């Protein structure tokens, strides 16, 4: 996120398209991180917990939204893609939230 921010600060008119593509490509990397988190949950003993299914659904949806957002930006322009950016961020935050909840449940199970 730092590189696109610097590019836009230097010259918005010249670097806006490149900066957005870097930023939206970065969201694909965030989906991969969400997948790593999800697989760490599945490997734990609480993988049968209901929130694991919710996390999986959120990762799938956020991945689809990230790809759709990158495609929309390059085909239809930035206005519509920005709406999907906010949707992606909500699903990504939800994935991390459920990861925290699952880890709390796992910690409680190990303590008792």
Cα–Cα distance between 83 and 90 in angstroms, integer?
11
- Closest by Cα among 96, 90, 99 to 52: 99
pLDDT of residue 14: 93
pLDDT of residue 83: 86
CB contact burial 10-35 (16+ within 10 A = b; e otherwise): eeeeebeeebbeebbeebeebbeebb
- The string of DSSP codes covering 59-72 is HHHHHHHHHHHHHH
Radius of gyration of the CA atoms of the chain, in A: 17
Span 71-103, pLDDT tens digits: 988 888 778 888 888 888 888 888 788 778 877
Residue with tokens 């929309």: 72
pLDDT of residue 52: 66
Residue with tokens 């900066």: 19
Enumerate residue ranges in the chain where pLDDT < 50.
Answer: none
**Whether pTM exceeds 0.75:** no
User: How many Cα atoms sit within 13 Å of 7 on the Cβ side?
Assistant: 15
How many of the other CB atoms lie within 10 Å of CB of 107?
11
């Amino acid at each position: 996120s730092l590189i696109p921010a610097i590019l836009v600060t230097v010259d918005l008119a010249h670097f806006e398209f490149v900066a957005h593509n870097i930023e939206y490509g970065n969201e694909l990397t965030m989906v991969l991180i969400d997948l790593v988190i999800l697989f760490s949950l599945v490997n734990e003993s609480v993988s049968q917990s209901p929130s694991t299914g919710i996390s999986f659904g959120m990762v799938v949806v956020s991945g689809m939204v990230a790809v759709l957002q990158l495609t929309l930006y390059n085909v239809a322009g930035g206005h519509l893609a920005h709406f999907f950016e906010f949707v992606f961020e909500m699903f990504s935050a939800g994935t991390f939230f459920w990861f925290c909840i699952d880890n709390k449940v796992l910690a409680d199970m190990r303590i008792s």
